[in-house]
Amino acid sequence: MRVLLHGCNGKMGQVMTRILAQTPDAEIVCGVDVAPDKVKNSYPVYDSLSQVKETPDVVIDFSHHSALDALLDYGTSRKVPLVICTTGFTPDERQRMVEASRVIPILNSANMSLGINLILSLVKQVAPILAESFDIEIIEKHHNQKADSPSGTALMIADAINSSLGNRLKFTYGRHSKTARREPVELGIHAIRGGAIVGEHTVIFAGQGEVIEITHSAISRDVFAYGALRAARFLVGKAPGLYGMDDVLRVN
């Protein structure tokens, strides 16, 4: 499998570089990064997709949501599948992704971890059972360099819970300056930023005499790279469409 690594010189790009170097049936044929000379890689690196000469089987993207238009243009014009691991997309950007997926296969997830995606399945089962008598809150923790808040993963978990409850919950982002009591239809989402925390997400179901917590902790960034690799293998050869990690887990 021939991979174009988009955002190759960022933190996750370098983790992906290391993981792919250890993968016998995959290789990085080239990379693209806004700072192409930042790291000395074993593959050619360009500062834009328009300069790419190689022919990849798939693009793995760990860049920035602002690069989406160029990424979609490249994928649709070259008919190359895209594994988009970037977060922080606006509704308009997500719509453009949907439109491009009519031409090429695109897999997008706010979190490439297999564990997180299993938790999504779990909360969909648990929430309808507990929602009538339990309050639901989400706490996410990340390193102090993370720009978006709350995390895309926290929103993904919240959406999974809400969809299982007929979308009747109202998201509350923190409670600074709020003096009213918590409403039964609230789903609180709280963000913590500090140090080098890779990523931790906790879903709290708080009842009158008991509390249930479901927590996922990413010990290292390797988990996201392994998930992206599995997603890329899944996507190559697929029909156009917008896929998620739940599709990967269902097939495998």
The angle, 0 to 180 degrees and rounded to 10, between the axes of the packed helices 114-130 and 152-164 is 40
User: What sign results for the dihedral spanned by CA atoms 117, 111, 89, 195?
Assistant: positive
Q: Report how far residue 117's alpha carbon sits from residue 223's, in angstroms, rounded to the nearest whole number.
A: 12
Placement of tokens 């992704």 in the chain: 97
Is 142 part of the annotated catalytic residue set? yes
Q: Cα 24 to chain center, whole Å?
A: 25
Determine which one of 38, 64, 124, 146 is catalytic.
146
- HEC profile for 220-243? CCHHHHHHHHHHHHHHCCCCCEEE
Q: Is the distance from CB of 250 to CB of 230 less than 8 angstroms?
A: no
Determine which one of 141, 142, 190, 216 is catalytic.
142
Length of the chain (residues): 252
Q: Report how far residue 9's alpha carbon sits from residue 15's, in angstroms, rounded to the nearest whole number.
A: 9
Q: Which residues are catalytic?
A: 142, 146
